[in-house]
């Protein structure tokens, strides 16, 4: 059955375009006005509506360069086809069946419509010398991994066995997917195939800032486990990843490396510690140790009471709590989340302080809570929120919005 | 009655002796005494506040001395300024600065005196300078190392280059190369047929950059991002208006030491130009055709070639240095625009270095991308807008350039502190130093004239100062 | 009458003369004493003011010189703006050995409140070999113009600043010091000073 489908698909690809369906597709493309809102979406559906039998003709219309918006539109229409027919059609995408000038269009279609099952097909199309088609290959792998979480596990399995060039493409594809499952796959790849660990983790490092937050707990755990190994071949990258991902729980490990014997690891550990905490302490491990012990003690002994004070109705207690929370340099995200929640219902005095502390903590997740206080009745609260927002976003927030809010106490133009 | 009164009045006037003068005098004396006491009290309070003002003033004078010494160091002086026996004048005070040479570092000690104030501060500086050459391999936007390429280091003050044995992560040594970037650094991976890129040393990307390490690629040192970006100094090269230099094939051109400027230096096939240093060559375009040869001999002095808009050394040309001093040759170019110069419809990059080396020195192209092929091995530094080390290319950073003055000099502060006052009668006296100098017929020097050049021993003798006896201590 | 009788009669003063002269002397003395008392009081207040001023300047200069010599990477306060810190931890360079700076143990300048508000310097704070020196007493509880209400009353960007306050901004540290002493008239004499210094190390 599979062989029959493959042969059918191959024949469809090799045969010249069928006059009727091809004319229909061409007409749709001719009448397309990309400037009209929703036109691309409608055109894509119209192309898909031509039916599975038109896939060959649609594929034939994709130009060899496979770069224009029309080509992307054609490729995207494949996504709307019934899955079984689509898979059958895509199974005909082999380097043997396709002419060399059709490889790029094939990768484009796989990019737009492929699933995890087509990962190996992408690699096969690119061939042994992946460099010629690397950009298209990586784009296809990226899109598939971003779209289909299960594809990330398949990519991991493939990368564990792939040759150097293919492995590199898979790693880049996973890294540029900017998804939690893809990042986890990279972390696991670093563990399972040590020769690729440097590449996998440095690619992950390059894209770390673009990973969706909050981070996957499994990902952080996997990276931390590897960070604990001093002899890890990619120890440098792991140390920097802890900082880029702002993993609070890796601080003890980083402090240990800071006091270690390896100079290059000490510098990376210091960079990450400064990044996670915002503290500007020097390379002295004992200074960091002392600071961390203080923090641990606080979280263990004072944190519950302080959180209770924050949530209580008493203003003096809230002020005390805010003062103590403002002294924290560890677990800044957690503190920021608590304060953002508090800010939503805080009285004016507490809100002013909370805005200042949130600005100091520097977490962008606090932005919505601060934006909400831009409309506060109290002018000083509005000012504090505006200053905090400017600090977090790096942009000047016009005070005119504040003045308007005071005048109308209605909706604020932003 | 009237006569009695008048008689009494007459008699009273004649008998009264004016004894009220004494109590009046006593009262005046008493009042004067009280005034003097209050005046003394007031003056003593003022003196107290004046002492603290003088102390602060002396501190600033000492700081001024440090600043002057730093300026001298930056200009290649020793660092010492004036001396205790002939101090430098600054405002209403004086200072002198001593220096202690510690090899690559120097400790300066500045003593400042004003009226009653005395202060001494000290700073330790690293003589090394932030020169462009000390950056090693530095790309403003990106650094790419292709398969098989390698960046390592050696120290020409110790010996010639010797290839390190085996590079492994964490296997860094004192001879670490420096690779830096304001963006990201990419090391291409290798395969079973070819090794990946290698950096024996540190690779520090920009604050938001990363080092992407391909399979089988190695970085032995730190990969921590820099805390801030580095601004590359801009090159200003004046447009030469002279005629082009186009040597005839087969007729070598020898340029002895001196300054030269041409609109273009175009070496055709089989042509040779030999430049002997010290020499400055300023060009608008530098073109080396296949089979041409440009030699630099910096053994007698440094040679600097500045090219304003276009450098093209095609494959098969030779651009080499005959001396192995990496501070003896530099190629600086402000070229930045890709222009179709040969009218083939394809824009030509501003800098092409496909020649054959080796080249010992600095290549500085802050606004152009530079691709170094395997044929052009560089010993020294390369700093450009974007750097690509081609397959199997080599760059060997000379760590002696860390102490080089090529491209700018600025000593680096290591530490500062307040120190004890030195043993000196001028310090111990407590008089206004300008008064003491006057009494002893010593004229303080102007700070700019008080620097010691290298090789001249500063005056460290302590003068026997005479106290100004006429000064009254209120 | 004989001249002898006239002479003997002119040796004394009449009661009226005495009364008038005593009254006049009393008036003059009274005025002088009043002026003296007033001057003494003013001098006393002036003395206290000058003393407070001198003490504040001396203390601030002392703190400033310490912070100037501190190692920036090892200098930190427990809080940062807009909250105000009344203590600062730092290490400083105490010497150079073979061209390498030698760094002191941890030091701290802090406002202590027992038994009275004072500026205290600690070396190895909290440790076994802790050294503690009081640099100046008479520290005001809160900075002039500030009351503990969670608001930045004096609009300088810090909330509830105490008599000794530090704000670290990059390599720069802003130090605010407020000294207060009771004057001879019972009214407090306050001196508030502020300076900014840059860490040189």
Q: Are B153 and B177 in contact (CB under 8 A)?
A: yes
- Answer whether residue B7 shows pLDDT above 50: no
Residue C35 lies in a domain: no
Cα separation, B193 vs A129, whole angstroms: 13
**Which of A96-110, A200-214, A372-386, B6-20 is the least confident region?**
B6-20
Distances (CA, A) of B159 to A14, B389, B394: 67, 25, 19
pLDDT in tens, A127-182: 876 677 888 899 999 999 998 889 999 999 999 998 888 888 899 999 999 999 99
Residue A270 lies in a domain: yes
Residue with tokens 């490092």: A205
Cα of C77 to nearest chain B Cα, Å: 21
Cα separation, C70 vs A213, whole angstroms: 38
The residue in chain B having the minimum alpha-carbon distance to the alpha carbon of residue A271 is B224
Cα separation, C139 vs C118, whole angstroms: 5
Smallest Cβ–Cβ distance between A268 and the set B191, B215, B223 belongs to B223
The domain in which residue C113 lies consists of 44-198
pLDDT in tens, B310-347: 999 999 999 999 999 998 999 999 999 999 988 888 89
Same domain, A280 and A323: no
- Answer whether residue B11 shows pLDDT above 90: no
**Of A301, A324, A353, the domain-final residue:** A301
Q: Which chains touch A (3 or more CB pairs under 8 A)?
A: B, C
ipTM, two decimals, is 0.74
Distances (CA, A) of B24 to B28, C23, C28: 6, 17, 13
Cα separation, B450 vs B456, whole angstroms: 12
The domain in which residue A349 lies consists of 313-408
Residue A363 lies in a domain: yes
Residue C26 lies in a domain: no
Cα separation, A206 vs C123, whole angstroms: 44
Residue A242 lies in a domain: yes
Same domain, A238 and A325: no
Distant-in-sequence, close-in-space partners of C116: CB < 8 Å, separation ≥ 6: C137, C138, C139
pTM of the model: 0.63
Residue A307 lies in a domain: no
Residue-level pLDDT at A110: 92
In chain A, pLDDT over 70 holds for what percent of residues?
A: 89
Query: How confident is the model over C8-23, as a mean pLDDT?
Result: 82
Are A199 and B215 a contacting pair at CB < 8 A? yes
Same domain, A262 and A321: no
Residue-level pLDDT at B457: 63
Q: Is the peptide bond before A222 cis (omega within 30 degrees of 0)?
A: no
Other beta carbons less than 10 A from residue A235's beta carbon = 25
- Answer whether residue A284 shows pLDDT above 90: no
> How does the average pLDDT of chain B come out, rounded?
85
Same domain, A386 and A329: yes
- Answer whether residue C5 shows pLDDT above 80: no
Same domain, A251 and A293: yes
Residue C153 lies in a domain: yes
Cα separation, C123 vs C112, whole angstroms: 14
pLDDT in tens, C128-161: 788 999 999 888 888 888 777 777 777 777 777 8
Other beta carbons less than 10 A from residue B266's beta carbon = 19
Reading the block at residue A67, the tokens are 């770069």
Distances (CA, A) of B411 to B72, B79, B399: 10, 11, 17
Residue A371 lies in a domain: yes
Q: How many domains does chain C have?
A: 1
User: In 3D, which of B199, B202, B204 has the Cα closest to residue B183?
Assistant: B204
pLDDT in tens, B36-90: 887 877 777 676 667 778 888 999 999 999 999 988 887 667 788 998 888 999 9
Residue C33 lies in a domain: no
Same domain, A326 and A388: yes
Smallest Cβ–Cβ distance between A349 and the set C81, C82, C150 belongs to C150
pLDDT in tens, B337-365: 999 988 888 899 999 999 998 999 999 99
| Best to test chain B binding among A160, A190, A198, A283 (most B CBs inside 10 Å) | A198
- Answer whether residue A413 shows pLDDT above 70: no
Residue A150 lies in a domain: no
- Answer whether residue B6 shows pLDDT above 50: no
Cα separation, B223 vs B179, whole angstroms: 10
The residue in chain B having the minimum alpha-carbon distance to the alpha carbon of residue C69 is B417
Reading the block at residue B430, the tokens are 């407590």
| Best to test chain C binding among B2, B99, B416, B419 (most C CBs inside 10 Å) | B416
Residue-level pLDDT at B389: 96
Are A282 and C71 a contacting pair at CB < 8 A? yes
Are B102 and C99 a contacting pair at CB < 8 A? yes
Same domain, A333 and A270: no
Residue-level pLDDT at B174: 56
Place B455 in a pLDDT band, splitting at 50, 70 and 90: low
Residue A242: CATH number of its domain = 1.25.10.10
Residue C1 lies in a domain: no
Distances (CA, A) of C64 to B235, B417, C72, C123: 41, 12, 14, 17
Residue-level pLDDT at C113: 86
Q: How many domains does chain A have?
A: 2
Cα of B99 to nearest chain C Cα, Å: 12
Are A319 and C81 a contacting pair at CB < 8 A? no
The residue in chain A having the minimum alpha-carbon distance to the alpha carbon of residue C103 is A284
| Best to test chain B binding among C1, C2, C3, C6 (most B CBs inside 10 Å) | C6
Cα separation, A267 vs A330, whole angstroms: 20
- Answer whether residue C53 shows pLDDT above 60: yes
- Answer whether residue A350 shows pLDDT above 90: no
Query: How confident is the model over B239-259, as a mean pLDDT?
Result: 86
Residue C148 lies in a domain: yes
SS3 (DSSP) at B136: coil
């Amino acid at each position: 059955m599979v062989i029959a489908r493959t042969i059918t698909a191959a024949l469809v690809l090799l045969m010249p375009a069928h006059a009727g369906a091809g004319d229909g597709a061409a007409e749709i493309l001719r009448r397309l006005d990309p400037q009209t809102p929703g036109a691309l979406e409608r055109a894509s559906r119209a192309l898909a509506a031509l039916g599975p039998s038109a896939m060959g003709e649609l594929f034939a219309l994709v130009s060899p360069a496979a770069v224009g918006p029309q080509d992307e539109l054609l490729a995207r229409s494949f996504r709307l086809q019934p899955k079984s027919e689509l898979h059958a059609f895509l199974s005909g995408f082999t380097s043997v069946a396709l002419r060399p000038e059709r490889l790029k269009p094939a990768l484009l279609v796989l990019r737009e419509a492929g699933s995890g099952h087509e990962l190996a097909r992408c690699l096969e199309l690119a061939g042994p010398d992946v460099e010629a088609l690397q950009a298209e290959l990586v784009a296809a792998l990226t899109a598939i991994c971003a779209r289909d979480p299960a594809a990330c596990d398949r990519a991991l399995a493939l990368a564990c066995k792939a040759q150097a060039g293919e492995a590199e493409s898979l790693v880049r594809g996973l890294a540029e997917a900017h998804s939690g499952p893809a990042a986890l796959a990279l972390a696991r790849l670093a563990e399972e195939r040590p020769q690729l660990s440097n590449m996998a983790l440095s690619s992950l490092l390059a894209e770390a800032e673009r990973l969706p937050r909050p981070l996957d707990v499994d990902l952080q755990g996997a990276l931390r486990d590897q960070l604990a190994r001093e002899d890890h071949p990619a120890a440098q990258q792991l140390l920097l990843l802890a900082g880029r991902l702002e993993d609070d729980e890796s601080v003890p490990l980083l402090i240990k490396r800071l006091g270690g014997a390896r100079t290059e690891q000490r510098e990376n550990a210091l960079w990450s510690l400064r990044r996670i905490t915002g503290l500007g302490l020097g390379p002295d491990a004992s200074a960091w140790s002392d600071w961390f012990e203080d923090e641990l003690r606080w979280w263990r002994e004072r944190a519950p009471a302080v959180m209770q004070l924050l949530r209580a109705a008493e203003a003096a207690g809230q002020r005390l709590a805010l003062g103590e929370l403002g002294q924290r340099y560890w677990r800044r995200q957690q503190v920021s989340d608590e304060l953002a929640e508090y800010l939503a219902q805080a009285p004016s005095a507490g809100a002013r302080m909370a805005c200042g502390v949130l600005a100091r903590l520097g977490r962008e997740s606090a932005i919505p809570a601060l934006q909400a206080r831009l409309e506060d009745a109290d002018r000083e609260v509005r000012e504090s929120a505006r200053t905090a927002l400017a600090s977090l976003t790096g942009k000047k927030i016009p005070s005119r919005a504040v003045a308007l809010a005071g005048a109308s106490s209605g909706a604020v133009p932003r | 009655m009237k006569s009695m009164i008048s008689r009494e009045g007459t008699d009273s006037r004649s008998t009264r002796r004016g004894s009220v003068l004494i109590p009046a005098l006593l009262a005046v004396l008493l009042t004067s005494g009280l005034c003097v006491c209050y005046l003394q009290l007031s003056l003593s309070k003022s003196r107290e506040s004046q002492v603290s003002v003088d102390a602060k003033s002396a501190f600033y004078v000492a700081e001024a001395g440090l600043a002057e010494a730093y300026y001298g160091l930056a200009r290649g002086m020793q660092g010492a300024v004036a001396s205790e026996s002939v101090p430098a004048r600054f405002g209403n005070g004086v200072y002198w600065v001593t220096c202690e040479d510690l090899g690559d570092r120097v400790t300066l000690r500045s003593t400042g005196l004003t009226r009653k104030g005395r202060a001494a501060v000290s700073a330790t500086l690293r003589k090394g300078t932030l020169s462009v050459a000390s950056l090693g391999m530095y790309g403003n936007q990106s650094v790419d190392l292709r398969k098989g390429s390698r960046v390592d280091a050696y120290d020409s003050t110790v010996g010639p280059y010797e290839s390190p044995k085996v590079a492994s992560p964490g296997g860094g040594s004192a001879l670490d190369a420096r690779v830096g970037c304001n963006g990201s650094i990419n090391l291409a991976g290798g395969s079973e047929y070819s090794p990946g890129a290698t950096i024996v040393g540190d690779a520090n990307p920009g604050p938001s950059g990363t080092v992407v390490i391909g399979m089988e690629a190695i970085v032995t040192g730190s990969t921590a991002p820099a805390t801030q970006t580095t601004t590359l100094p801009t090159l200003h090269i004046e447009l030469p208006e002279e005629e082009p230099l186009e040597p005839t094939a087969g007729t070598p051109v020898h340029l002895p030491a001196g300054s030269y400027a041409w609109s273009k230096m175009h070496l055709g096939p089989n042509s040779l130009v030999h430049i002997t240093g010290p020499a400055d060559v300023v060009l608008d375009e530098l073109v080396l055709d296949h089979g041409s040869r440009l030699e630099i001999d910096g053994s007698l002095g440094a040679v600097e070639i500045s090219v304003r808009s276009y450098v093209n050394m095609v494959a098969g040309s030779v651009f080499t240095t005959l001396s192995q001093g990496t501070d003896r040759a530099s190629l600086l170019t402000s070229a930045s625009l890709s222009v179709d110069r040969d009218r083939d419809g394809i824009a030509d990059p501003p800098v092409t270095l496909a020649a054959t080396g080796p080249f010992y020195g600095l290549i500085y192209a802050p606004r152009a991308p530079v691709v170094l092929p395997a044929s052009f091995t560089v010993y020294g530094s390369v700093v450009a807008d974007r750097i690509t080390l081609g397959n199997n290319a080599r760059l060997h950073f000379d760590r002696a350039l860390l102490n080089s003055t090529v491209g700018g000099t600025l000593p680096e502060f290591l530490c500062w502190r307040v120190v004890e006052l030195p043993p000196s009668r001028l310090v111990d006296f407590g008089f206004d130093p300008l008064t003491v100098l006057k009494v002893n017929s010593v004229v303080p020097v102007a700070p700019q004239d008080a620097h010691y050049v290298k090789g001249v021993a500063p005056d460290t003798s302590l003068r026997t100062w005479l106290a100004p006896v006429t000064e009254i201590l209120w | 009458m004989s001249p002898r009788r006239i002479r003997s009669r002119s040796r004394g003063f009449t009661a009226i003369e005495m009364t008038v002269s005593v009254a006049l002397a009393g008036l003059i003395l009274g005025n002088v004493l009043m002026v003296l008392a007033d001057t003494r009081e003013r001098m006393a207040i002036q003395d206290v003011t000058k003393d407070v001023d001198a003490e504040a300047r001396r203390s601030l200069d002392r703190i400033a010189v310490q912070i100037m010599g501190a190692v920036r990477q090892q200098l930190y306060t427990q809080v940062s703006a807009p909250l105000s810190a009344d203590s600062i931890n730092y290490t400083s360079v105490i010497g150079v050995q073979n061209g390498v700076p030698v760094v002191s143990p941890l030091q701290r300048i802090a406002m202590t409140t027992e038994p009275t508000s004072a500026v205290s310097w600690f070396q190895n704070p909290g440790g076994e070999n802790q050294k503690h020196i009081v640099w100046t007493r008479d520290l005001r509880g809160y900075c002039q113009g500030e009351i503990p209400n969670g608001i930045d009353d004096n609009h300088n960007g810090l909330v509830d600043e105490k008599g000794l306050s530090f704000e670290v901004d990059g390599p720069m540290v802003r130090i605010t010091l407020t000294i207060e002493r009771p004057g001879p008239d019972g009214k407090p004499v306050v001196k508030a000073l502020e300076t900014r210094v840059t860490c040189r190390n």
